[in-house]
Structure 1
């Protein structure tokens, strides 16, 4: 049974805009130094104080200034007068029958915004690992025809702090800080010291259209003196913003996933409209020159299986030809329905036949087990304007072979 926890505060208890204080949680070292200056910390002390703040924020995960016991009371009070340690607010938390968790998060309003924007993030627990799927934008401009997020207009980019904040909130909720109490998860969390072992930028939005903020956020998440998540455990998924792919590889160096979904330009133009600007050949040329790409650092190609659209044996053979020479892994994704979608998921026999062709060509081609479908948390289903899927539209779990593998 799906558990839904509504965390929406009553309207009268929400803090007025005038009381807004920015949060330090999610800030880079440079921004923390600016915060220290604003709080009146002498310049000669700032580097040390930033180091202390950094450890409290990203190693210990504290949520109050009082817990920062090696920082003077005077400095803590000065910081608290100007800043908070808040994470994004939880509007609703849903827990799937398979242990997948989805959070609808509310962000602080920026000056021009009439209402507080909302985004979604999803945590997928597995044996020995846990993957957190985070968002980079509120809404999306790409309008991919099979994707629920694409039906929501773009509101704005997320700040680096808001992107990191999703990671911090998830760690809070699943007890992923040192010494944190384990939540009552009925045995569904992985039996590992770290509950979040992988982060994927596969949530709402196109991360390469928010390049600078996403890069800053991933630098914070991967910093060896803080959260310390290896960049080999971080995967950025793009629909194909070709001019930014090489630059991302040079400056950030995370793993890369390509939202491909078609082997012919005329079909990809329909499924992933950015293809009209950056067609398949340009996209694959960018993949071939992605910095560091090798058999040890393969590019993941995501391919959603749409019944009668892109799932024929001819499509599978064309996919193999297209990817020749690229160290690659192919994730076959059973289509996850959402309210109003016009596509159907390929039959399981069709998916197996497709996977067999790709496997025989020498490519690893795991099939994602749909996770969190009952709470609209599966791939392609995220949308912060929450819409419930009618019970009769909810598919059962397919007998698929594996769950998300990006970032292995």
Structure 2
């Protein structure tokens, strides 16, 4: 991986996610468990299709277990988890020694759990089931992929190596509980530590100003090829619009949280057909006129949903249940059970209206369309 990117003539350093850290420390531990040798660095494959090299800071071995750790390096995009230690203990155990709390099983003979400093999911609506470690699906897959890679590299059959044992991977972070207090985890119902996250494995650094300039440049390049553009918040929106709804990836730009800025730039550059597609948890904010969707500016998802449902005649008990949800995905089955699915169309209609009002497009020939969907790619509304 090229460690740097250049934006507007300035040099910015890339980093890697907590998910990449967990995969790297696990790989290092497994290599030492098999070969007995100290590992100074490992290469891992990321979902972005880029291989990255991560230094291994320390390792210890005792009997049939190895602990390794790496340090999270967010590059020039510094957040609360930057420079924290992410550990992985890999050990051979019997079935009687299996911990109660484990991640979803993806690989035969392998179980993944969490230790100190990694949160536990306590509320529904996230991509991880209640009661499981807060290790998101993509990092979980990355960990399993690296386990498979190690056995393949050594030419060892995994099940023959394990025999009647189980390979248990424990991800932990000694400072995780304290660091989690600086994140939104408790608001999401993740208790006891940080989450292991990352959809691409790589942290792309940029100041907000540089990020916006880069987005404008991308829009300008797309404009050369036509008057239609598709805006999505990020990787989830991109994959959903392409893989499920069949949009041309070449017409899509990831706008991050900058809905208002990107709409104004689309107008300035002369786009006439603007499609905005994204998870309802992001785009519901636009329906209320919130044009920067970062949670530090506004996080009124529950209030917006409750107010719309109240205007539809929703009763207090129903509204209270919605207000208690920690994510918009958790609201969806409740809304459907009460027969208020039309609220999604209302939110989409309001989003279109707000977008047009924001860029003063009512008197101009600019079409705006909004697609709302759930985390699993179910289309909720299109207006």
- Scaled to the shorter chain, the TM-score interval is under 0.3
Structure showing greater radius of gyration is 2
Greater share of residues in strand: 2
TM-score by length of 1: 0.24
